[in-house]
Structure 1
Amino acid sequence: MNDLEDRLKAIVRADPGLMQVMTTVRNLGLNDWRVFSGAVYQCVWNAVTGRDAGYGIRDYDVGYFDLDTSWGAEDAVIRKVAEAFEPPLRDMVEVRNQARVHLWFEGKFGEPYEALTGTDEAPGRFVAPAFAVGVRLEDDGEISVAAPFGLEDVFDMVLRPNPDRPKARGWDRAVENARARWPEIRVIDA
Structure 2
Amino acid sequence: MIGRLPLDEQASALRSALSRNEVLLEVLSRTAALRLPGWYLTAGCLFQTVWNVVTDRPPAEGIKDYDVFYFDDGDLSWEAEDAVIREAKEVFARLPAEVEIRNEARVHLWYERKFGVPCPPYDSTEAAIDSFAATTCCLGVRLEAGGHWRIYAPHGLSDVFNLVVRPNPVLAPREVYEAKSARWRGQWPALTVLDWPSP
Q: In structure 1, what is the equivalent of residue 184 of structure 2?
A: 178
| 1:153-168 → structure 2 map (5 Å cutoff) | 153-165=159-171, 167-168=173-174
The alignment's TM-score, normalised by the length of structure 1, stands at: 0.94
Partners of 1:66 and 1:97 within 8 A in 2: yes
Q: In structure 1, what is the equivalent of residue 106 of structure 2?
A: 100
Task: Write the deviation string for residues 159-187 of structure 1: whole angstroms up to 9, x where unpaired.
Answer: 12105446533122101110111011001
Q: Which runs of 4+ in 1 moved over 3 A?
A: 163-168
1:70 equivalent to 2:84? Answer no
Q: In structure 2, what is the equivalent of residue 26 of structure 1?
A: 32
Give the superposed CA RMSD: 1.4
Fraction of identical pairs, as percent: 41
Q: What amino acid maps onto 2:92 in structure 1?
A: F
What secondary structure does 1:130 align onto? helix
Partners of 2:37 and 2:71 within 8 A in 1: yes
Equivalent residue for 1:123, pick from 117, 126, 129: 129
What secondary structure does 1:99 align onto? helix
Unaligned runs of 5+ in 2: 1-6
Partners of 1:26 and 1:139 within 8 A in 2: no
Q: Distance in 2 between matches of 1:97 and 1:86?
A: 20
Q: Distance in 2 between matches of 1:65 and 1:143?
A: 19
What is the CA-CA distance between 1:114 and the residue it aligns to? 1.0
Q: In structure 2, what is the equivalent of residue 6 of structure 1?
A: 12
Q: Distance in 2 between matches of 1:86 and 1:166?
A: 32
1:109 equivalent to 2:120? Answer no
The alignment's TM-score, normalised by the length of structure 2, stands at: 0.90
Q: Which region of structure 1 is more displaced relative to structure 2, 13-22 or 70-79?
A: 13-22
What is the CA-CA distance between 1:5 and the residue it aligns to? 1.1
What count of residue pairs does the alignment treat as equivalent? 189
Q: What amino acid maps onto 1:87 in structure 2?
A: R
Q: In structure 2, what is the equivalent of residue 37 of structure 1?
A: 43
